[in-house]
Structure 1
Amino acid sequence: MNILCIHQNFPGQYKHLAPELVRQGHQVTALTPKVKKPTMWQGVRILPYEITGKSTKDIFPLLADFETKLLRATACYRAALGLRQQGYLPDVILAHHGWGEPLFLKDIWPEARMGLYCELYHLSDPLFSAFDPEFPPKVAADVPLKLRMKNINNRLHEEIMDAGLSPTRFQADTFPERFQDRLRVIHDGVDTDLVRPNPDAALTLEDGTMLTRDDEVISFINRNLEPFRGYHVFMRALPRLLRERPKARVVLLGGDEVSYGARAPGGQSWKQIFIDEVRGEIPDADWARVHFLGRVPYARYLALIQVARVHVYLTYPFVLSWSLLEAMSVGAAIVASDTPPVREVLEDGVQGWLTDFFDGPALVEKVSRLAEDAAARKALGARARAHVVENYDLRTRCLPQLVKWVEDLSARSSRPPMD
């Protein structure tokens, strides 16, 4: 079977699935702007395309988001048209449509079956659109309009979607009823053989200090340090946390950019804004125990969650981070926000402790208490790992389900594009 993968940051969510499909005997090709030249990766033929053009200056604001998706969709379409002219015919197209790329591919290959990675449908419910009152929209009345325009991309892709895939029930349930009969919940999977407890794990800091499981390490990890992932809540709790835990090392991973939500005002970074807010409350000696490592290679990230005495994970009601399940998989003792995506995978008092997203003092109290309680950490960590192994293991659970989903997709009738 010829399978075409579309992802703006390939492999992305196809990191494990694409190579497994190759091992199953399928011909897998990926189109992505991430590479500049054709290359091979684990048996997958990766082909580049270039996104040309740029957003229109001073475009009507409600059109800005969709225009960027149209630019990407058109660039991907042109690259795919070149493949079609060379005789390439995919049986199945697997695509993350969040950036718009696969929008016009059924116009080239109407008989191909389209399987979409359905990450999130934007909802105007205050739980989603006004969760954090500290960052209200500039014009509240415009929020439903903006969200509806953002969902144009989802709606147009629904017309050509033969089957959809969401990694969690929370994410799947954001999509309207018309998606649901074609939507499956299968997580990308956690490689629990690799992501496992390691009593000998060690993390070396920039000054040469080596942290091990004998040290009191408190970890906080996100792709970017920003409000959507509770960075502001964690930073405001930091002065008190450092006072109460005089031997703790607090290690934060994450970049200075924005993955979700609004950019920081005035060209600043959210990271620096909240450093500046709390720095005056923290003596130099305590600040020396805070370590911002930025973005790090995967092995270094893994070492951090393996040595952490307590791992903190906070998130708005939004897409669940891989890092939470991976922290569970290494048997970390976790304090996490009591928000819907977290509650799906972690039960309070069973696999970790939940805390109110906005309650900084409660966060400090629970982190401190867990840091003191070795028996609780051991029990929570063991149950957390067991839960991930049973429900999210890559090899025994998720990957077989994903392969079966692709096989079932290939047997469906294709939905042609609509005029």
Structure 2
Amino acid sequence: MQILIIHQNFPGQYKHLAPALAQAGHMVVALTPKVEKATTWQGVRVIPYKIVGASTKGIHPWLMDVETKILRGHSCMAAARALKEKGLNPTVILAHPGWGESLFLKDVWPEARLGLYCELYHSDQYPHMNFDEEFPSTDPKNDPIRIRLKNLNNRLHFEVASAGISPTKFQADTFPDYFRDKITVAHDGIDTDLLVRNEDAQLDVGGGKILTRDDEVITFINRNLEPYRGYHIFMRALPDILKRRPKAQVVMLGGDEVSYGAKAPEGQTWKQMFIDEVRPQIPDDDWARVHMLGRVPYPQFMAMQQVSRVHVYLTYPFVLSWSLLESMSVQAAILASDTAPVKEVVTDGENGWLTDFFDTEALTDKLCKLLDDKEAREHLGRNAREFVVKNYDLQKVCLPQHVDWVHRLATLPAPKPVP
């Protein structure tokens, strides 16, 4: 079977699936603007294409998102036509549609089955919008229109897609009923053989300081430190945490850009804004126990999780972070927000503790209580790993689900583009 994969940052979510399909004997080709020259990666032929054009200066803001996706879709379509002329005729096209690349591929190959990675369908309703009153919408009257236009990309894909796959039920349930029925819930998978408890783990936090499991380490991980992942809440709890836990070492990962939600005010970063807010409340000696490592190589990321005594995870009702499941896999004791995506994997008192997203006092109290209760931490950690191994193991659970989904996708009807 010929399989075409589309992802603007390949391999992205196809990191494990693409090689598995190639190893199974399928011809797997990936189209991506990420590479400059054609190459082969783990049996997958990776073909570059260039995005031609740029957003029109002065264009209406509601059209910017649509225009960007059309530019990407048009560029990808041109590359697809060139591949078709060379004989590529995929039975299945796997695509993350979020950036628009796959918009017009069914015009190139009408008979191919298009399978979508369904990450999120946007909504203007609470709690997807205005969950955090501190950062309200700046244009509430027009949000429904803006969001509807943002979902135009999803809807155009739905018309020609045969099926979808989504990593969590929370994410799948954001999609409209008429397409939700076509979505299979299957997580990308956690490498539980790699992500294991390590009694000898060491984390270098700089300045010659090495942390181990003998230290009272509190961890907090974001891709970027921003409100969508509760960075502001954790920072506001930090002065009291440091005061009440004089031996604690707080390790934080995350960049100073924006992954989700609104940008920080002009000329500022969310990271620095909340450092500036709480820093006057924290003595220098206490601040020396806060280690902001930015973004680190994966071995250091894993070591951080393995030395963690309690891992704090906060999020808006949004896409669930892999880091939570990875921390559960290494048997970290979890303290997380009681928001919908989290409650899909964390049961309060069983494999983690839950706390109100906005309540910094409750967060601090529960964190201190958990740090004082070794028996509870051990119980939660064991159960957390058992849960992840049973439901999210890469090799035994998730990858077989994805491979099976691709094979079923190849047997489905192939909707054609309509005028």
If the length of structure 1 is used for normalisation, what is the TM-score? Answer: 0.99
| Equivalent in the alignment of 1:306 | 306
Deviations 1:342-371 (A, max 9, x none): 000110011100000001111111111111
Report the more deviating stretch, 93-102 or 197-206: 197-206
Cα distance in 1 for residues equivalent to 2:79 and 2:39: 16
Give the C-alpha shift of residue 77 in structure 1.
Answer: 1.1
Q: In 1, distance between residues paired with 2:183 and 2:300? A: 35
Q: Which residue of 1 aligns with 2:45?
A: 45
Q: C-alpha distance in 2, partners of 1:81/1:409?
A: 23
Partner of 1:8: 8
Which ranges of structure 1 fall in alignment gaps of 5 or more residues? none
Task: In structure 2, give the amino acid aligned to 1:257.
Answer: E
* Residue identity opposite 2:98 in structure 1: G
Aligned match of 2:379: 379
Q: 1:189-228 to 2 correspondence within 5 Å?
A: 189-228=189-228
Contact 1:129 1:143 in 2 (8 A): no
The equivalent residue for 2:35 is 35
Cα distance in 1, alignment partners of residues 245 and 134 from structure 2:
28
Task: State the distance in 2 between where 1:276 and 1:409 align.
Answer: 51
* Structural mapping, 1:246-261, within 5 Å: 246-261=246-261
**2:115 aligns to what?**
115
- TM-superposed CA distance for 1:398, in Å, is 0.8
1:82 positional shift: 1.4
In structure 1, distance between residues paired with 2:186 and 2:124: 25
Give a deviation string over 1:60-80, Cα, whole Å, max 9, x none: 111111111112111211111
Is this contact kept in 2: 1:305–1:330, CA < 8 A?
yes
Matching residue of 1:359: 359
Map of 1:407 onto structure 2:
407
Residues 277-296 of structure 1 aligned to structure 2 (within 5 Å): 277-296=277-296
> Which residue number corresponds to residue 274 of structure 1?
274
Q: What is the CA-CA distance between 1:52 and the residue it aligns to?
A: 2.1
Looking at structure 2, the residues matched to 206 and 39 of structure 1 have their Cα atoms a distance apart, in angstroms, of 37
Q: Aligned partners of 1:223, 1:10: CA distance in 2, in Å?
A: 18
User: Quick one: distance in 2 between partners of 1:36 and 1:367?
Assistant: 48
For 2:139, the equivalent position in structure 1 comes to: 139
Q: Indicate if the aligned counterparts of 1:118 and 1:164 stay in contact, CA closer than 8 A.
A: yes
TM-score (norm 2): 0.99
Distance 1:238 1:181 in 2: 44
CA distance in 2, matches of 1:153, 1:202: 45
Rounded to whole Å, the distance in 2 between the matches of 1:234 and 1:52 is 42
Residues 98-134 of structure 1: per-residue CA shift (max 9 Å, x gap): 1111000000011111000011111122111110000
Distance in 1, matches of 2:338 and 2:169, equals 16
Question: Alpha-carbon deviation of 1:25?
Answer: 1.0
Mapped to 1, the partners of 2:221 and 2:92 lie a distance apart of 35
- C-alpha deviation, 1:280, in angstroms: 0.8
Tell me which residue corresponds to 2:96.
96
1:210-268 Cα shifts (integer Å, max 9, x gaps): 11111111111111111100001011111111111111111111111111111101131
Q: Which amino acid aligns with 1:32?
A: T
Match of 1:320 in 2: 320
The letter of the residue matching 1:331 is: Q
Tell me if the contact between 1:97 and 1:103 (Cα under 8 Å) persists in the aligned partners: yes
Shift of 1:38: 1.3
Instruction: Please give the alpha-carbon distance, in whole angstroms, between the structure 1 residues aligned to 2:267 and 2:166.
Output: 34
- 1:12 and 1:208 map into 2 onto residues whose CA distance is 35
1:296, 1:35 → 2: CA distance?
A: 23
Amino acid at match of 2:354: L
Structure 2 letter corresponding to 1:159? E
Q: Which moved more, 1:75-84 or 1:104-113?
A: 75-84
The corresponding residue for 1:128 is: 128
Q: Provide the rounded CA distance (Å) in 1 between the counterparts of 2:124 and 2:227.
A: 19
Shift of 1:48: 1.2
Aligned to 1:158: 158
Q: How far has the Cα of 1:139 moved from its partner?
A: 1.7
**Identity among equivalent pairs (%):** 64
CA distance in 2, matches of 1:227, 1:75: 34
The equivalent of 2:62 in structure 1 is: 62
Q: Could you say what secondary structure the match of 2:95 adopts?
A: strand
3-state secondary structure, aligned to 1:312:
strand
Deviations 1:152-208 (CA, angstroms, capped at 9, x unpaired): 111111001101001111111110011022111011111110111111111112212
CA RMSD of superposed structures (Å): 0.9
Matched-pair contact (CA < 8 Å) for 1:310–1:367? yes
User: Does the 8 Å CA contact 1:250/1:289 hold for their aligned counterparts?
Assistant: yes
Q: Which letter maps to 1:245?
A: R
Distance in 2 of aligned mates of 1:351 and 1:268: 38
| Distance across 2 between alignment mates of 1:241 and 1:49 | 50
Question: Matched residues in 2 for 1:155 and 1:241: separation?
Answer: 46
1:167–1:188 contact (8 Å) kept in structure 2: yes
